[in-house]
Structure 1
Amino acid sequence: CQNMGVDEADFYEAIASFKGASKRLEKIAEGKGKVAYKDFAHSPSKVSATTKAVKAQYPNRKLVACLELHTYSSLNAEFLKEYEGALDAADVAVVFYSPDAVKIKQLEEVSYDQIAQSFKRDDLIIYTNPAEFKDFLFNYDLNNSALLLMSSGNYGGLNFDEVKGLIS
């Protein structure tokens, strides 16, 4: 910043109140023993880095990492293989995708089995129905947990204000 002409004292004054970029590992709620983040992460490397970062920040909490496959590339059967290990840092790994989004994008259908095999986790939880994903989220015991919602979409219409209520 100094090379661009920003005074060091001005920088430190401004950075003290910087809350981070919207949708980039954004803390959306925090309560006693619970925290929730949403992140724009969707590429395999970003999903992996974000999951590891949250687990490192909350090593003694159960990390519930949810990923929505929403982009053209993430819904491509060949590209799915790139997600191997991306959710390994999570204690509970959940993937949501909408078969309707696949059709809208005119992509070849992606199967449940293809997704399960791509992540290489025997305990991977997969949802294709927004109501079922919401039901899972709202009935899961989040005590002593960190909830991480990663997507460039909205999980089929998930209301993030309602999610905040799960935490506070």
Structure 2
Amino acid sequence: MAAKRLSFRAVIGLKERRLCEIRTLLGIDPQAEGAPAVARLSAAAVRVLQDTAHTYPLGEAERTVVNQVLSTLREYPCLGTCAALHSLVSSACRVAWLLSVHTPPLRIDTDFTPVVLNPERHVRYSRGSEQQKRSDLIRSFVWPALLDGDSCVFRAVVIT
């Protein structure tokens, strides 16, 4: 799950940097962000990112994620050349990119602090024991929730 969260953060940062680069290249004063012309430019730039979402180069975000994984798992330097890791990161970044350029942007719920199962936001992992299925206390998250604003599009998978 860490690669997914890292990928999401990396592509959101990449998207924001690209939009900022456009504004900087055109000499747009940060104070003018609310101006109608700037809003139309930003909307047009997001539409271009949406139209190219399946082919947009994400190498920068992928390298960021791989480097973060490698710096966390220093004792496994072989991961740097692990094709499976690079493939996972590439796929995770692509999915995260598609979600982040969606209008409105979808996001993963990174609040892993709830301790009690909420049926509107969580679903139990189906392979748990009967005792685990009776408990509403969340022990860990298997998969994060997908949110559209405050509404939950896909519930988090949790172990209770």
TM-score interval for Structure 1 and Structure 2 normalised by the shorter chain: under 0.3
* TM-score, length basis structure 1: 0.22
Higher RCO (C-alpha 8 Å, min separation 6): 1
Compare the two structures and name the one with the higher strand fraction.
Answer: 1
* TM-score, length basis structure 2: 0.23
Compare the two structures and name the one with the higher helix fraction.
Answer: 2
